[in-house]
Amino acid sequence: MEKIVDDIFNVGVNDTKIDLFEGQYKVKDGMSYNSYLIIDEKIAILDTVDKNFFEEWFNNLTTILKDNKPTYLIVSHMEFDHAANIIKLVEKYNDITIVGNVKTFTMIKQFFNVEITNKLVVKENDTLSLGKHTLTFIFAPFVHWPEVMFTYDSYANILFSADAFGRFNTYENEANYLDEARRYYIGIVGKYGNQVQSVLKKASNLNIKIIAPLHGNVIKDNLAYYINKYDVWSKYEAEEEGVLIAYCSVYGNTKDAVNLLVKSLNNKGYRNVFAYDLARSDISEVISLAFKYNKLVLASITYNNSIFPFMNTFIEGLIERNYQNRIVGFIENGSWAPMATKVMKDKMQVLKNITFIDSNVKILSAVNEDTINQIEKLADSLLD
């Protein structure tokens, strides 16, 4: 639990047992499910937590509430890492009013098969007074579900931002802060850059001093830095000049070419080059790094007349998240019918504003003098 300001608390929980967040993202340092409590003449709870944590969360709530009863439960997002305990809370506080929009209540009916009778259906920019605190509801559709809404507290100048500005890791664990915020954003919200841009524009009119997301730390300092990161990510711009090499190699020959490319770039004075073996890496991390840098090289063996499965997963992950505005080169390997570059390039044709490098590398089984020359040309093209 954390006191955010005098009368606002995070009563959320840390999940250190979780293996895969949202069924796919490895979170070795766990995850937090934040839930906020505003104490005023009327008391509001913002969101519940994952179903496995009802007891801990409710204990946090009642430690502060004591015998007081909450008037409202504001539902920012219906995904079950936040919404799982809505009905259990109603069972504890029969008079509580559930606050959501039309889509929220449609989903409550779908998930719980119950009709909420004690409800307040809000529209965009509606306000709700708790006493000193006045809350304004700002719709944030597809950040990252259609019913999502932010809540702005104009008394405390806090933006309760639902999933936006969240990150992997438990609460108050600052390890790899930006990398885990990026991996979270690209993985979960990356597809919806336009929608993030839209809600950032709405938020730019607000006097925000604190951002309180549903995952990860409450942001009290350097707000402009984090808002700028969201702006860059949602515009699909690169954060840094750099080459990310994602490769698949079975017997090490394609890896040899990758190592030679790294060496060649280093020898030319270019240090921001990073190579990842997709079979042995967390693909969500490599995808997020592809969005960090402005250049990408894909290196794959030819496999079953196509590309290696991990490369297929990687490219599909980029496509799902609208990867765009980047420079891309290829390295392929094949002993009798190399076609990995054609397959990789064909798949990426659906992406917007990708500049494909012409001087790609073709390895016939193993690196030789000819491939070394090709690697030099690819390195030069990447530095052009």
Contact window for ligand FEO (CB under 6 A) among 74-82, 195-203, 230-238, 296-304: 74-82
Binding of ligand FEO at residue 86 (CB under 6 A)? Answer: no
Residue number with CB closer to ligand FEO (214 or 361): 214
Residue 118: how many CB atoms within 10 A of its CB?
12
Contact window for ligand FEO (CB under 6 A) among 49-57, 75-83, 287-295, 330-338: 75-83
Question: In this structure, are residues 351 and 316 in contact, taking their beta carbons and an 8 Å threshold?
Answer: no
Contact window for ligand FEO (CB under 6 A) among 60-68, 79-87, 270-278, 300-308: 79-87
**Binds ligand FEO (CB under 6 A): choice among 9, 36, 77, 288:** 77
Q: Which of 179, 186, 315 is nearest to 247 (CA)?
A: 315
Q: How far is CA 131 from CA 94, 99, 258, 282, in A?
A: 22, 17, 62, 48
Binding of ligand FEO at residue 321 (CB under 6 A)? Answer: no
Contact window for ligand FEO (CB under 6 A) among 73-81, 92-100, 132-140, 270-278: 73-81
* Residue ranges in 139-168 that form contacts with ligand FEO under rule CB under 6 A: 144-145, 163
**Binds ligand FEO (CB under 6 A): choice among 15, 50, 81, 332:** 81
Question: In this structure, are residues 313 and 323 in contact, taking their beta carbons and an 8 Å threshold?
Answer: no
Alpha carbon 286 to its chain centroid, in Å, reads 13
Distance (Å, whole) CA 45 – CA 90: 12
Shortest distance, position 53 Cβ to ligand FEO, whole Å: 13
Phi and psi at 134, nearest 5°, equal -115, 125
Question: In this structure, are residues 233 and 185 in contact, taking their beta carbons and an 8 Å threshold?
Answer: yes
* Residue ranges in 193-232 that form contacts with ligand FEO under rule CB under 6 A: 214-215
Binding of ligand FEO at residue 79 (CB under 6 A)? Answer: yes
Measured from each CB, the residue nearest to ligand FEO is 79
287-311 burial, b if ≥16 CB within 10 A, otherwise e? Answer: bbbbbbbbbbbbbbbbbeebbbebb
Shortest distance, position 338 Cβ to ligand FEO, whole Å: 41
The contact set with ligand FEO (CB under 6 A) reads 77, 79, 81-82, 144-145, 163, 214-215
